[in-house]
Amino acid sequence: MTVFRPKYITFDCYGTLTNFQMAEKAREIYGARLEEPRMQGFIRNFAAYRLDEILGDWKPYDQVLRNAVERACKRNQVPFVEEEAAQFYRAVPTWGPHADVPEGLARVAREFPLVILSNAMDEQIMSNVEKLGAPFHKVLTAQQANAYKPRFQAFEYMFDTLGCAPEDILHVSSSFRYDLMSAHDLGITNKVWVNRRHEPENPYYGYTEIRDIRGLPGVVGL
């Protein structure tokens, strides 16, 4: 069987490669004020509001987080404090990769150009990328695209920047809602879902499932 060899392997960063620790940060800030059932509700609401905040016109990510925190606080009857909300944004560049990432990335980087398309600000992302343990051909952000995923504009910016078509890439993500649903609709036929267990499987969108990034070399025949 012929193995697809993409022109580029493109990645979501936060959650897929970088260990995205918004829930842990929320527990650190609000855990003493919320009993566990309410804490779980706050985390769910905070995640949902982050998605809702990026579906309209682009705004800086610190505003996305600030607004999502405020809305989650209101929903869960927690006093909103600007400084507490700002802690989330400052924490993002400090986060490192999932333990499986450096080994798997290093293997595929020897054969393929790697690209990140991330819902990030330029001032944040390189600190995370430097911790991933592999070279990247391009690191593209929502700030550059003037749009966040799952909006098509973010992906179209990537196609234009790389000078390639959807069928030329292999897109890797742990999220259907942010990446794989839009990738499917835009004609990216070669997709990998990294099952980090934060979303349920959805075979309709057509992908190869791997447990972690150590499984990626096998997808491309390495």
For residue 2, is pLDDT > 80?
A: no
- What is residue 139's three-state secondary structure? strand
Position 1 scores a pLDDT of 58
Q: Please, what is the angle between helix 61-75 and helix 36-53, to 10°?
A: 140
Report DSSP letters for 34-49, one per residue.
S-HHHHHHHHHHHHHH
Residue 194 confidence (pLDDT): 98
Residue-level pLDDT at 59: 97
Give the pTM.
Answer: 0.96
Region 190-214: mean pLDDT is: 96
Amino acid 3: pLDDT: 85
Q: Read off the pLDDT of residues 93-105 as tens digits, 9 standing for 90 and up.
A: 999 999 999 999 9
Locate all alpha helices (DSSP H) within 118-179, ordered by sequence: 122-129, 142-145, 152-162
Task: Compute the mean pLDDT over every residue in the chain, rounded to the nearest whole number.
Answer: 97
In whole angstroms, give the CA distance from residue 80 to residue 66: 10
**Alpha-carbon gap, residue 135 to 105, rounded angstroms:** 9
Locate all alpha helices (DSSP H) within 54-121, ordered by sequence: 61-75, 82-91, 101-109
